[in-house]
Amino acid sequence: MPIVWNKNMSAYRILRDEGVELVRPDEPAKRKSSVLRVALLNLMPEKATTETQIARLLGDSAHCVEVTYFVPDSYRSKSTPAAHMAAFYERWSQVRRRRFDGLIVTGAPVETLPFEHVSYWSELTAIFDWAREKVGQSYYICWAAQAALQHFHGVPKRALPAKMSGVFAHQILQPDAPLIRGLAEGFPVPVSRYTGVSAADLPGDCGLEILASSEQSGLCLVRDPARRAHYMFNHLEYDSDTLAREYARDRCAGRPATVPRHYFPQDDPARAPAHSWRGSARILFRNWLNEVAREASPQVHERTTVDWLLGSGAAPAPVGVALCDFLIDVEDHLTAVPAVLRVLAGFSLAPVTLRVTKSPEAPSAVYLRLTGTGGDLAERIARRVARVVEGIRRVGYRDTDGVGGVMVPEGGLRPAPPVRAGLRMPSRSAA
């Protein structure tokens, strides 16, 4: 599937020549395609290289992805031209009120500094908190993973005796975890860092799950279900020559530099390394985008909607009066309610009851009751609302005859399970 891309970005030609499908920002709307909106907080020094690496993997999935690049307001890049930053990057204050389905935060060349000495640390922790509350799924890489773990759980980073550099085999510890499904036991991962996180420092009472680790390089991937986050301490996104370029850079700078382990053929830096982790990177990022999509379009077995749909809490209808109740989960009720009312007006209907509940932990819930509706008409109304109202997550409906179901955008009918006697599903023939 395509990735939404600005053709003026330096990576455009590289990705196009590699066969990645690239589309203009207005193209998904013309195709009526759903788009996953991913924010990329890029703190790596070589911005264009990281943009290409991440976009290449996001474009190799079954989802159309739109990437927004941003940095903290106080951040100033020392290695990327100001013109590039001004043209393609936004500041944190410009994006913080937007809705994103996913967030990726890269590593940064500051890992030997105490966290609080990083100039943009306060903004970064605010971004972490924003992601926890507002973003569907987060993926933190290398130093960013260490920083997020420290902020959320107080986990320290520990200096290593020397830089850990190379490609190491990793063992899968949670084979049923969605993010690592399809990865082979002992899958290779590039490692490049001066610090690490010890498994012994992870608190045992906060639900953290170690998904993969290496006997040689330590922790690789940790899942944090409560925060819908994954902490990746290594670099599956790296190109085949990235470790070689880092090794040459360290030597030129006079820093202690050992040949990356298990990387060059026969440990000879004169020979070109193989991209042995490419398949693993594709699998992991596809899995992550599937998780992002699942969070963005939740299934109808979520408890709130199903409990309401199968419950008996609706006010009784007057004898002989057909009615239908609707429960609509929506991102922003202030814009959705007028749009829903316009849809109803198209059916020459108006609600006799309309109520909105708002919770900081969930989307807005719009409850409304219509009289003179039921059966196929209720199904058509629900389908229409799900199709045309922006920001809809799902539309649940039930009528006095026990007919009910759920509609989700782009997904058609998602019937609720007949858990309670008396509920029967609507026909699938309604237009």
Question: SS3 letters for 175-222?
Answer: CCCHHHCCCCCCEEEEEEEEEECCHHHCCCCCCCEEEEEECCCEEEEE
Average pLDDT over residues 416-425: 34
Confidence category of residue 363, pLDDT binned at 50, 70, 90: low
d(CA 149, CA 79): 27
Within the chain, which residue ranges are assigned CATH 3.40.50.880?
3-296
* pTM beyond 0.85, yes or no: no
pLDDT digits (tens, 9 = 90+) for 113-171: 999 999 999 999 999 999 998 899 999 999 999 999 999 999 999 999 999 999 999 99
User: From CA 310, how far away is CA 297, in angstroms rounded?
Assistant: 21
pLDDT band at 398 (very low <50, low <70, confident <90, very high): confident
Whether 301 is a known active-site residue: answer no
Local structure of 290: helix, strand or coil: helix
pLDDT of residue 209: 96
User: Which residues are CB-contacts of 421 (< 8 A; sequence separation ≥ 6)?
Assistant: none
Q: Boundaries of CATH 3.30.70.260 in the chain?
A: 303-413
Residue 236 has pLDDT above 60, yes or no: yes
Give the pLDDT band of residue 362 (cuts 50, 70, 90): low
Please say if the pLDDT value at position 418 is more than 80. Answer: no
Neighbour tally for 185: CB within 10 Å: 10
Catalytic residue among 51, 235, 291, 333: 235
List the catalytic residue out of 142, 230, 291, 379. Answer: 142
- Of 196, 195, 164, 182, the C-alpha closest to 263 is 164
At 100, the pLDDT band (50, 70, 90 cuts) reads very high
Q: What is the mean pLDDT of the chain?
A: 85
The three-class DSSP label of residue 424 is: strand
Catalytic residue among 51, 111, 237, 379: 237
Domain 303-413: homologous superfamily in CATH? ACT domain (3.30.70.260)
CATH of 3-296, one of 3.30.1280.10, 3.30.565.10, 3.40.50.880, 3.40.50.1220: 3.40.50.880
Active-site residue, 117 included: no
* Residue 142 designated active-site: yes
Mean pLDDT of 203-220: 95
Count of C-beta atoms within a 10 Å radius of residue 251: 12
What pLDDT does 253 receive? 87
